[in-house]
Structure 1
Amino acid sequence: MSTAEVSGRSLAELVSLQGRRAVVTGGARGLGRAIAERLAEAGADLLIGDIEEELAASTAKEIAERHGVRAISAAMDVTDAASVKSAVDRAVTELGGLEIWVNNAGVFPAVPLLEMSEETWDEVFAVNARGTFVGAREAARQMAAAGNGGVIVNVVSTAGFRGSAPGLAAYVGSKHAVRGLTREMALELAPLGVRVLGVAPSFVPTEGNKLAAAAAGFDLDGIPPTDLMFAAPIGRAGVPDDIARVVLFCASDMAAFMTGSTLLADGGTMA
């Protein structure tokens, strides 16, 4: 099937996600929560999937109350295919379907290459690369079965385009894999009416990112925002909503003629 031709629709109709159902992995905090907030504001009903079950539940409750949509939660470990499939099944059963899937969950422990164990390497790839594959596969299976198409958005990183920082070999490798997967999945899923896009943020100081940086010995609270990771030519560090708005664009019919691309949301750091 082909995606709809939407040039006759108004701007409000193109942005609206009314009647659509979305799943956001790692959606309880940080970028995931910001993405969920924007999708809900546009009218989508949501399932917040996160390994932190209680936080996912409270996030879903708050989003439902704020935006007047249905929002539920599920404990989700993206490295466990059964856990991911269970979340898909719950979205279909309780929300009535699935049209949007956002692969946001990720990890990035900083370990110098010569000190990195195989276990650390495998853990990063299990979450970032295999988790993206499994999530997209299960979502696409459901979208294909329903016959209405859909959209998969993979949160990549500027690290999927270049080396990032010392100690991030596994992260950089996994994000290059996700960018490649985005292109390949777009080719394979296009005949099913499923679009696949990537969004590549530069470093955004979320709660999770700050914890990871602290574990690696960096105190981000003591660093001016413009000095974080790579100084952005745009003149400021990114915030989660900067990324969420790009994901909303990808998920909406504003991007109906796009698939396979990875959009940079980087403040110009890759310019």
Structure 2
Amino acid sequence: MGRYDGRVAVITGSARGIGFGIATRLAEEGASIAVVDLDEAAAADAAARLPLAEGAKAIGIGADISNAEAVDAAIARVVAELGGIHVLVNNAGITRDNLLFKMTEDDWDLVMNVHLKGAFLMTKAAQAHFVEQKYGKILNLSSVSALGNRGQTNYSAAKMGIQGFTRTLGIELGRYGINANAIAPGFIATEMTDATAARVGVSVEDFRAAAAEANPVKRVGFPEDIAAAAAFLCSDEASYITGQTLYVDGGAKLG
């Protein structure tokens, strides 16, 4: 018996990276999975690669989570095709890094729309089902960048906003059997961080080595590290935890 047998989990931005890592872990533990991504072909491909337990299903859904109609349609499809919704992971994210004086209004709006508006719309659509069934798990992805990071005024503001959003969800939804928590990853080796290395003109190996040296455990994180924390926080074992943000960063922000 897996912790997620009979559960349906919706994970945004899960065609790759941290999102796919979480989808893989929940699938291994018995969940049916809806991979939601802007790129429907990538979402379908990712869904087809998940290690599903017997009787579980996976679907790929293309949706712009900053668009209310697209979100409502995505949640309706999940319920129709997978039979319900029990877990929502708001993982989708983008970066548009630049120093403040170079940052454009579009850079700001795009990051806010995906991270904050997207989490708001997805949660609002899912919580209607959660309240009705008196059960639901919401997990939001923040970041250590919420504490401030050069060149990321937009991303840092969005990720700290996610933490306030999470605390308020905990206050409002706890009485309905709904838990809402967040994870704030540190440096995680993904396509996104590899792209950052390329953008700043550093090799992936050197970029990761520098990140590893900056934390007490002296290694970088991987999607599996975040997935392990997510699998706990979205499970019934964490039913007395809500409104919290767990930093999974190798201790990078200690001291």
- TM-score with structure 2 setting the length: 0.94
- Residue 76 of structure 1 contacts residue 87 of structure 1 at CA under 8 Å; is this kept in 2? yes
What is residue 26 of structure 1 aligned with on the other side? 13
Give yes or no for contact 1:226–1:232 (8 Å, CA) kept in 2.
Answer: no
| Offset at residue 226 of structure 1 (A) | 3.3
1:1-271 correspondence to structure 2 within 5 Å:
16-63=3-50, 67-68=53-54, 69-145=56-132, 147-160=133-146, 162-164=147-149, 166-214=150-198, 216-223=199-206, 225-228=208-211, 231-271=214-254
Whether the 8 Å CA contact 1:21–1:100 is kept in 2: the answer is yes
Q: 1:232 to 1:81 in 2, by over 3 A?
A: same
Mapped to 2, the partners of 1:46 and 1:222 lie a distance apart of: 33
Residues 96 and 187 (structure 1), Cα distance of their counterparts in 2 relative to 1, 3 Å cut: same
Deviation, structure 1 residue 206: 0.3
- Structure 1 distance, partners of 2:181, 2:237, is 13
Residue 46 of structure 2 aligns with an amino acid whose one-letter code is T
Q: What is the deviation of 1:205?
A: 2.1
**In the aligned structure 1, how far is the partner of 2:192 from the partner of 2:171?**
33
Label 1:220 to 1:229 Cα distance change in 2 as closer, same or farther (>3 A). farther
Paired amino acid for 1:163: G
Residue by residue over 1:49-71, the C-alpha shift from the partner in whole angstroms, topping out at 9 and shown as x without a partner, is: 0011111101111115x544210
Q: Which residues of structure 1 form unaligned runs of 5+?
A: 1-11
Name the CA distance, whole Å, in 1 between partners of 2:203 and 2:129: 41
SS of the equivalent of 1:92 reads helix
Unaligned runs of 5+ in 2: none
Give me the whole-angstrom Cα distance separating, in 2, the residues matched to 1:84 and 1:181.
18
AA in 1 matched with 2:18: L
SS in 2 for 1:102: strand
Pick closer, same or farther for the CA change 1:126–1:220 going to 2, 3 Å. farther
Q: Is the 8 A contact 2:3 2:29 kept in 1?
A: yes
Q: Aligned pair in 2 of structure 1 residues 83, 167: CA closer, same or farther (>3 Å)?
A: same
| Offset, 1:212 | 4.2
